[in-house]
Amino acid sequence: MGKAIAVRFLPDEVTVKAEVGEPLLEVARRAGVTIPTGCLMGSCHACEVEILGGPNLCACISGVPAGTDEITVNLESDPLW
């Protein structure tokens, strides 16, 4: 079993434990948080989220990053999706 870290989703202020490498979409679903999706291949960027202090990631193709005990995911909602 991998290392569990806290994943906090903004603006909902929901925090759940997740394993490093666990798909971000699955972590969000487990937390009851919706991340909009489109192509599910990372091409359309509908699922792009901001990792505070880190890069923007497409949640459909990205896992929970290693190297920290906690990450904060800022969900940006595009009204066109």
Q: In one letter, which amino acid is 44?
A: C
CATH numbers and ranges of domains, the chain = 4-74 (3.10.20.30)
Phi-psi region of 39 (alpha: psi -120 to 50; beta: other; left: phi over 0): alpha
pLDDT in tens, 28-49: 999 999 999 999 999 999 999 9
pTM of the model: 0.86
pLDDT over 90 (residue 75): no
Here the contacts of 13-19 (C-beta below 8 Å, separation 24 or greater) are 18/64, 19/64
Show Cβ contacts of residue 7 under 8 Å, excluding neighbours closer than 6 positions.
15, 16, 17, 18, 27, 31, 64, 70, 71, 73
